[in-house]
Amino acid sequence: MHNAKHTSAAQQFGMHRATHRDPKLVQWGLTLAALLTISVLIVIPLVNVFYQAFAGGLPTYWENLVRDSDTLNSILLTLAVAPLAVVANLVFGLAAAWAITRFQFPGRSLLTALIDLPFSVSPVVAGLMLMLLFGLQGYFGPWLQEHNWKIIFSTPGLILATCFVTLPFVARELIPVMEAIGPEEEIAAISLGADGWQMFWRVTLPNIKWGLLYGVILCNARAMGEFGAVYVVSGHITGRTDTMPLRVEKLFQEYNNPGSFAVASLLTLLALVTLIVKVLLERKTRLELAEAARVVHTPGEAS
Amino acid sequence: MSPSNRKVLPGFSLSLGYTLLYMSLLALIPLAACFTKAFSLSVDQFWAAVWTPRTVAAYQFTFTVSIVSSLASIILGFVIAWVLVRYDFPLKRIFDALIDLPFALPTAVAGLVYSGLYVETGWLGQFLVPLGIYGAYSRFAVVLVLTFLGIPFVVRTLQPVLESLEDDKEEAAYLLGASRSQTFWRVIFPTLIPALVTGFALSLARGLGEYGSVVFVSGNMPFKTEIAPVLIVARLEEFAYAEATAIAVVLLVISFAMLVLINLLERWSKRYYA
Amino acid sequence: MSISVKNITKRFGDFTALDNVSVEVPTGSLLALLGPSGSGKTTLLRIIAGLEIADSGSVLCQDEDVTHHSARQRNVGFVFQHYALFRHMNVFENVAFGMRVRKQPKKLISERVRELLHLVRLEGLERRYPAQLSGGQRQRIALARALAIQPKVLLLDEPFGALDAKVRQELRNWLRRLHDEIHTTSVFVTHDQEEAFEVADKVVVMNQGRVEQAGAPHEVFERPANPFVMDFLGNVNVFHGRVQNGRALVGGLEVDCPEYPHQESRPATMYVRPHELEIEHSPNGAASLKARVERINSAGSIAKVFLLAVEFPVGLNVEISPERYGELGLKAGDTVYVSPRKVRVFVPEYVI
């Protein structure tokens, strides 16, 4: 995912000197075109989701969400699957970023590139790969059946699929942040007698907390919204393996538009909250990185 | 960084070991399984699975809509990035933040809402359908939703480059007697090409792999609006794992090629920034 | 606590950072590792701290071999070049860190931090964050933080490198006074010879991973062991000539050189410090050089005179007292005679 963590000073101060050289007509025309595009492609669909969800009034909306036990189950399932996947990728992200930014080893840049791999694999293919390993006809299928363990068409499969598609999020947010901060403070902590965990909790974590939260937020949004990969491994057992996005699709197939949009509105709300937190965190990390640069590089003025 | 950090900072083997283990279990072993399965087919069987009139139609459809929507994304995304960086208007920050919505919005939701907007009774369909423009259950519908997904890639790659353009270059060109359009095409545009190409590649990669939103809006008509991932799901539902895997391998090879291409493009475009 | 470094060798790939280096740091002394960049001085400091592991050789603290102890176990205070203060902790927490991770009682911690902040003259800044401090203040906090763990030895990496000239001078004097107060065995790294000579009890001059000379500042300054040290200590006139029969010859100048009584003539280099040259209006036989005054800089506590030798192409820097300058009444273009009071002659090792 490409994030804009860069609002330049010029943008913050509002005016670009070059601005007033673009003729007014061009400015107006382009602005209008841009706003029209954003409105048609983004704003109207956004408003439409909530309009459709609430078309039958608030009571109907509430009923669509809570009275339909299958829908309720899908919400609960998503609330169980997504956090587990996020925690798994959080631990992974920390380990990967620590290894990559703090040590030199052969294959380091290859490993960095490999982390992004899941982004370029179609989610359906990701689901298929899990089927090949753990499905009934898969490589481990017979063994799993013998031990009466179920991965495909059940929650573990959903978690694995979600882990795969969201694997890079935390790591790729942390790597640049930790690279920028550098290892000096951690080395200082060790030289002052801290052990590994003390160093991690007291020095590393406080320094990266905003970047970490940023990665977690993005990871969570994708985890809750993942469709293709879980579609393949879920088996569509209504009320048991349908996550929220799958429930949206099933209700849509059943021509239950109000129900479908009700679930969709929750997911959209999640997206909006994600965006807001993202904007706030971007401001925060930008300020902290600027500060970091100041702490490290400013030679002292008179004391 | 000193090479012997390893002896000073703790956790080298733990963190690297865990990273490798996690990636192997979750990504590398499944990938290997995928290729192993595909190679269990003979060449003829493999060929028969990946090259039927229906799969060829699906590849063609996937590529066509991805390329068309990526082109649309770079044109519209360019205008948006330009306006966001250079002009001021009310609610600019909100519009700027909304650009990221397609990243955060579950694709199933995008598919659901797009499929409703452009039907005859939809908010936009009521105006467009009488004009003969069908924005739902058609090729155009897929292009629309993929453009929605592709635009943020383009805007977010272009924005930093546009912001880093120095006024003095434009001023220099202007003082040297270049007209406004000459300045744009000869001075500004060339420096944007790498970012535009990267944005195009990223949105193309996204379009080629997209599933969730497309199944909602395309209508999934064989030979017409069926994408390759839909075929994989169809084969799986027939328990034809090997055939499904063969198509998946084709998609994987394409996406790895895209990944390499994007990396090369990023390296190439970084030449311009010291 | 004394430190002895014995036969340390350290390579980074093909690059030899330290080549069989041995250094003694006597208990309670303040030692300077002086050398140009790439001389291995910082690597040596980090090896003493345990932040770098030597390929061979050993590090002894008092009589204990700590070569294989980790940085944590060595209990050394290390002041990093860029301070490495914890940016999310305030001054108090930064200084307290070492005691906190040792789980010392809260009361003791706050007492000791207060004491240390008094010592580094930064009382009242407990609640500030590193970003809100000036460079000199950060430097002193880094020092207080290192001292908080009551280290056996204090190691400072280019302690004044990132500061501007005025603050440098102040902190330099302050560090010397501080050391006299606490007497912790200390080692600091610097590339500034003036800094080393002004602050340290003992100076170790390093070059290309080797120790060129070690000794008290006046010893090193007065009796440089070799041309590198002479050159590095800076501001010196260099002449190339020959030695024969206990005499060294440069152009018309002839000086005693008892170290080389041999008959056979050999190339040699002669070094004379600017303040060891005398200017006269009349010649003094073979012991003086005829030269023309090119420029004079008399602003400051000494007068600097730049001359060109008349008989062969060599420039001369001479420093004389303002009184002497007044006596001579020099001006540019004058022809004068320059004679050395003290000359160091180095004859390159005879290598076949």
- What are the tens digits of pLDDT across the range C46-97? 999 988 889 999 999 988 899 988 888 888 999 998 889 998 899 999 999 9
Question: Is residue A139 in some structural domain?
Answer: yes
Query: Within this chain, do residues A115 and A255 fall inside the same structural domain, yes or no?
Result: yes
User: Pick from A188, A298, A300: which is nearest to C167 by CB?
Assistant: A300
Query: Within this chain, do residues A124 and A152 fall inside the same structural domain, yes or no?
Result: yes
Q: Which domain holds residue B30?
A: 1-38
How distant, in Å, are the alpha carbons of A101, C3, C156, C284, C285 from that of C81?
Answer: 21, 21, 7, 51, 53
Contacts of A299 in chain C (CB under 8 A): 135, 162-164
A272-281, A285-294, C296-305: least confidently modelled range: A285-294
**ipTM value for the complex:** 0.89
SS3 track for chain C: CCEEEEEEEEEECCEEEEEEEEEEECCCCEEEEECCCCCCHHHHHHHHHCCCCCCEEEEEECCEECCCCCHHHHCEEEECCCCCCCCCCCHHHHHHHHHHHCCCCHHHHHHHHHHHHHHCCCCCCCCCCHHHCCHHHHHHHHHHHHHCCCCCEEEEECCCCCECHHHHHHHHHHHHHHHHHHCCEEEEEECCHHHHHHHCCEEEEEECCEEEEEECHHHHHHCCCCHHHHHHCCCCEEEEEEEECCEEEECCEEEECCCCCCCCCEEEEEEECHHHEEEECCCECECCEEEEEEEEECCCCCEEEEEEECCCCCEEEEEECHHHHHHHCCCCCCEEEEEECCCEEECCCCCC
The answer for residues whose C-beta is within 8 angstroms of residue A73's C-beta and 6 or more apart is A239, A240, A242
pLDDT higher than 90, residue A141: no
Instruction: Please tell me the distance in Å from A191's CA to the nearest CA on chain C.
Output: 5
Instruction: Please tell me the distance in Å from B132's CA to the nearest CA on chain A.
Output: 18
Instruction: Please tell me the distance in Å from C70's CA to the nearest CA on chain B.
Output: 7
Query: Within this chain, do residues A35 and A63 fall inside the same structural domain, yes or no?
Result: no
Q: Do the chains contact at C135 and A187, CB–CB below 8 Å?
A: no
Contacts of A297 in chain C (CB under 8 A): 82
Instruction: Kindly list the partner chains of chain A, i.e. chains with 3 or more CB atom pairs below 8 Å.
Output: B, C
Contacts of C80 in chain A (CB under 8 A): 184, 187-188
Give residue A303's pLDDT: 35
Q: Do the chains contact at A4 and B156, CB–CB below 8 Å?
A: yes
**Contact indicator for A231, A162 with CB cutoff of 8 Å:** no
Q: Do the chains contact at A203 and C86, CB–CB below 8 Å?
A: yes
pLDDT higher than 80, residue A301: no
Query: Within this chain, do residues A286 and A142 fall inside the same structural domain, yes or no?
Result: yes
Query: Within this chain, do residues B94 and B154 fall inside the same structural domain, yes or no?
Result: yes
Q: What are phi and psi of A145, to 5 degrees?
A: -65, -40
Q: Do the chains contact at A124 and B232, CB–CB below 8 Å?
A: yes
For a pLDDT cut of 90, what percent of chain B falls above it?
Answer: 52
Alpha-carbon dihedral sign for residues B251, B252, B255, B260: negative
How distant, in Å, are the alpha carbons of A173, B12, C69 from that of C11?
Answer: 35, 21, 20
Q: Is B242 exposed, middle or buried (0-12, 13-18, 19+ CB in 10 A)?
A: middle
Mean pLDDT over A197-206 rounds to 95
Query: Within this chain, do residues B225 and B265 fall inside the same structural domain, yes or no?
Result: yes
Mean pLDDT over A191-215 rounds to 93
Q: Do the chains contact at A102 and B251, CB–CB below 8 Å?
A: no
Query: Within this chain, do residues A36 and A89 fall inside the same structural domain, yes or no?
Result: no
Give residue B159's pLDDT: 92
The band of A6, judged by pLDDT with boundaries at 50, 70 and 90, is very low
* Domain spans, chain C: 3-232, 237-351
Categorise residue B71: left if φ over 0, alpha if ψ from -120 to 50, beta otherwise.
Answer: alpha
Query: Within this chain, do residues B127 and B160 fall inside the same structural domain, yes or no?
Result: yes
Which of A147, A44, A45, A279 lies closest to B216, judged by CA? A45
User: Pick from B1, B22, B211: which is nearest to A123 by CB?
Assistant: B211
Contacts of B165 in chain A (CB under 8 A): 18
**Rounded to an integer, what distance in angstroms lies between the CA atom of residue A249 and that of residue A242?**
10
How do strand C237-244 and strand C266-272 relate by DSSP bridges?
Answer: antiparallel
Angle, helices A205-225 vs A257-297, to 10°: value is 160
C60 close to A (CB below 8 A): no
Q: Do the chains contact at C52 and B3, CB–CB below 8 Å?
A: no
The band of A14, judged by pLDDT with boundaries at 50, 70 and 90, is very low
Identify the architecture of domain C237-351 in CATH. Answer: Beta Barrel (2.40)
Query: Within this chain, do residues B32 and B134 fall inside the same structural domain, yes or no?
Result: no
For the record, the structure tokens of B39 come out as 């190679």
Q: Which domain holds residue A36?
A: 17-53
Query: Within this chain, do residues A137 and A100 fall inside the same structural domain, yes or no?
Result: yes
Q: Do the chains contact at C80 and A303, CB–CB below 8 Å?
A: no
Q: State the greatest distance between any 2 C-alpha atoms of chain A, in Å, as a whole number.
A: 75
Instruction: Please tell me the distance in Å from B166's CA to the nearest CA on chain C.
Output: 30
Give residue B219's pLDDT: 85
For a pLDDT cut of 90, what percent of chain A falls above it?
Answer: 65
CATH class of C3-232: alpha beta
Give residue A15's pLDDT: 43
Query: Within this chain, do residues B182 and B55 fall inside the same structural domain, yes or no?
Result: yes
Give residue A293's pLDDT: 61
Count of domains in chain B? 2
pLDDT higher than 60, residue B274: no
Q: Do the chains contact at A187 and C51, CB–CB below 8 Å?
A: yes
Strand partners, C65: C60
Give residue B259's pLDDT: 79
Contacts of B219 in chain A (CB under 8 A): none
Task: Give me the CATH number covering residue B147.
Answer: 1.10.3720.10
H helices of chain A, in order, are: 9-12, 24-38, 44-53, 58-66, 69-102, 108-115, 123-134, 141-146, 155-166, 168-181, 184-191, 196-199, 205-225, 228-234, 244-253, 257-297
- What are the tens digits of pLDDT across the range A29-64? 999 999 999 999 999 999 999 999 999 889 999 988
B60 close to A (CB below 8 A): no
**Contact indicator for C21, C40 with CB cutoff of 8 Å:** yes
Contacts of C71 in chain B (CB under 8 A): 8
Give residue C246's pLDDT: 82
Query: Within this chain, do residues A36 and A97 fall inside the same structural domain, yes or no?
Result: no
Contacts of C52 in chain B (CB under 8 A): 2, 4, 7-8
Question: Is residue A32 in some structural domain?
Answer: yes
Question: Is residue A11 in some structural domain?
Answer: no
User: Pick from A33, A128, A190: which is nearest to B232 by CB?
Assistant: A128
pLDDT higher than 60, residue A20: no
The answer for residues whose C-beta is within 8 angstroms of residue B194's C-beta and 6 or more apart is B161, B265, B268, B269, B271, B272
Contacts of B12 in chain A (CB under 8 A): 99, 102-103
Question: Is residue A12 in some structural domain?
Answer: no
Output the CA angle A103-A109-A111, nearest 5 degrees: 90
Within 13 Å, how many C-alpha atoms sit on residue A165's CB side?
A: 34
User: Pick from C98, C146, C167: which is nearest to A303 by CB?
Assistant: C167
Query: Within this chain, do residues B61 and B9 fall inside the same structural domain, yes or no?
Result: no
Instruction: Give the count of beta carbons closer than 10 Å to the beta carbon of residue B173.
Output: 18
Reduced to 3 states (helix: H, G, I; strand: E, B; else coil), residue B136 is coil
Q: Give me the torsion for CA of B212, B217, B221, B222, rounded to 10°.
A: -30
Reduced to 3 states (helix: H, G, I; strand: E, B; else coil), residue A300 is strand
Mean pLDDT over C118-124 rounds to 90
**Rounded to an integer, what distance in angstroms lies between the CA atom of residue A3 and that of residue A283?**
12
A221 close to B (CB below 8 A): yes
pLDDT higher than 60, residue A300: no
pTM: 0.84
Question: Is residue A282 in some structural domain?
Answer: yes
Q: Do the chains contact at B233 and A137, CB–CB below 8 Å?
A: no
Query: Within this chain, do residues B87 and B112 fall inside the same structural domain, yes or no?
Result: yes
Give residue A9's pLDDT: 41
Output the CA angle A150-A153-A155, nearest 5 degrees: 70
Output the CA angle C77-C83-C86, nearest 5 degrees: 95
Query: Within this chain, do residues A30 and A102 fall inside the same structural domain, yes or no?
Result: no
Query: Within this chain, do residues A160 and A287 fall inside the same structural domain, yes or no?
Result: yes
**Contact indicator for C50, C69 with CB cutoff of 8 Å:** yes
Give residue B270's pLDDT: 67
Which residue of chain C is at minimal alpha-carbon distance from A192? Answer: C98
Q: Do the chains contact at C87 and A302, CB–CB below 8 Å?
A: no
**Rounded to an integer, what distance in angstroms lies between the CA atom of residue B116 and that of residue A257?**
9
Among C52, C59, C76, C101, the residue to mutate for chain B (most B Cβ within 10 A): C52
Which residue of chain A is at minimal alpha-carbon distance from B108? Answer: A245
The band of C7, judged by pLDDT with boundaries at 50, 70 and 90, is very high
Which of A128, A234, A153 lies closest to B34, judged by CA? A128
pLDDT higher than 60, residue A10: no
The band of B183, judged by pLDDT with boundaries at 50, 70 and 90, is confident
Query: Within this chain, do residues B120 and B165 fall inside the same structural domain, yes or no?
Result: yes
Question: Is residue A207 in some structural domain?
Answer: yes
Q: Do the chains contact at C52 and B2, CB–CB below 8 Å?
A: yes
pLDDT higher than 50, residue A19: no
B121 close to C (CB below 8 A): no
Which residue of chain A is at minimal alpha-carbon distance from B37? Answer: A132
How distant, in Å, are the alpha carbons of A206, A255, B61, B62, B215 from that of B137?
Answer: 50, 15, 14, 15, 9
Categorise residue A256: left if φ over 0, alpha if ψ from -120 to 50, beta otherwise.
Answer: beta
- What are the tens digits of pLDDT across the range C216-243? 998 998 888 888 898 888 778 888 888 8
Task: Give me the CATH number covering residue A286.
Answer: 1.10.3720.10
How do strand C15-25 and strand C153-157 relate by DSSP bridges?
Answer: unpaired
- What are the tens digits of pLDDT across the range A50-102? 999 999 889 999 988 888 899 999 999 999 999 999 999 999 999 999 999 99
Reduced to 3 states (helix: H, G, I; strand: E, B; else coil), residue B222 is coil
Among B1, B4, B5, B12, the residue to mutate for chain C (most C Cβ within 10 A): B4
User: Pick from A33, A44, A124: which is nearest to B123 by CB?
Assistant: A44
Strand partners, C344: C271
Give residue B2's pLDDT: 45
- What are the tens digits of pLDDT across the range B46-90? 999 889 999 999 999 999 999 999 999 999 999 999 999 989 889
Quote the radius of gyration of chain B (alpha carbons, Å): 23
H helices of A182-256, in order, are: 184-191, 196-199, 205-225, 228-234, 244-253
Q: Do the chains contact at A192 and C84, CB–CB below 8 Å?
A: no
Q: Do the chains contact at A11 and B97, CB–CB below 8 Å?
A: no
Query: Within this chain, do residues A29 and A151 fall inside the same structural domain, yes or no?
Result: no
B271 close to C (CB below 8 A): no
Give residue A291's pLDDT: 66
Query: Within this chain, do residues B98 and B57 fall inside the same structural domain, yes or no?
Result: yes
Query: Within this chain, do residues B27 and B104 fall inside the same structural domain, yes or no?
Result: no
**Rounded to an integer, what distance in angstroms lies between the CA atom of residue C233 and that of residue C267?**
23
B3 close to C (CB below 8 A): yes
Q: What are phi and psi of C296, to 5 degrees?
A: -135, 135
Contacts of B2 in chain C (CB under 8 A): 46, 52
Q: Do the chains contact at A207 and C131, CB–CB below 8 Å?
A: no
Query: Within this chain, do residues A61 and A49 fall inside the same structural domain, yes or no?
Result: no
Query: Within this chain, do residues A23 and A112 fall inside the same structural domain, yes or no?
Result: no
Count of domains in chain A? 2
Mean pLDDT over A15-31 rounds to 72
Query: Within this chain, do residues B20 and B53 fall inside the same structural domain, yes or no?
Result: no
